Amino acid sequence: MNLEREVAATSLELTMSFLAPHIMKKSLILAIMSFFAIGGYANAEIHTWVDKEGTVHFSDTASPNKADNSKVINVQNTNVLESELNTNYSSSSSYSSEQQVAPKPEISIIQPTEQLIRDNSGNVNVVCSVSGANGLVVSTLYIDGSEQQTITGSGTLSVSLTNVDRGEHTIRVISSSNGKEIASSEKSFTLLRAHK
């Protein structure tokens, strides 16, 4: 019977010696988190020390025993949370895209490559590239002031024109965000074709 008690006691001691450090760590973490969660401690000093038995202590005052070599931890604004999220909402309670900043896109008019185009059929390919734009940016391709194609975000605007009149023509791409022009690019070309 005594042997059974000794085995049970030894088993309990082994279990406790194994669990004690884990319980202590969790208790210590919980104590620290609780301390920081308490309001009124913005700009507080925390004193920490290890006593002769190896127990770590945290307090708002130094250890009463000078032999414990307490250290001071300065904590500032422990109960203040700041967010970089914009919390402005429109009256319909949906997020207002007017509050977001759209990046300025880069616009390249890739074609036509020449300022002078010779094509008796009046065919002209226009290709423009918009890069660095997000979903808040709308880019529109105009030829001689007439809207041809629109994209949202980055991408390629491509139009094949047929039977274009001879003479000078203007290609313009305008990128806007929330109705405001944020970037544009313009290029002119002259089409030469035989008179009908």
pLDDT beyond 60 at 147: yes
Beta bridge pairs of residue 155: 130
Q: Looking at per-residue confidence, does 12 or 51 come out higher?
A: 51
Distance (Å, rounded) from C-alpha 80 to C-alpha 42? 8
AA letter at 149: Q
Q: What angle do CA 48, 50, 52 make, to 5 degrees?
A: 150
pLDDT beyond 70 at 174: yes
Q: Give the mean model confidence (pLDDT) for residues 176-191.
A: 88
Task: Count the helices and strands in the chain (H runs, E runs).
Answer: 1, 11
Query: What ranges do the domains of the chain cover?
Result: 2-75, 101-192
Q: Give the torsion sign (CA, 146, 155, 168, 185).
A: positive
Per-residue pLDDT band at 36 (split at 50, 70, 90) = low
Q: Please state whether the predicted TM-score (pTM) of the whole model is above 0.75.
A: no
Distance (Å, rounded) from C-alpha 86 to C-alpha 42? 24
| Domain over 101-192 is classified CATH 2.60.40.10 | yes
pLDDT beyond 50 at 91: no
Q: So what's the pLDDT on residue 161? A: 87
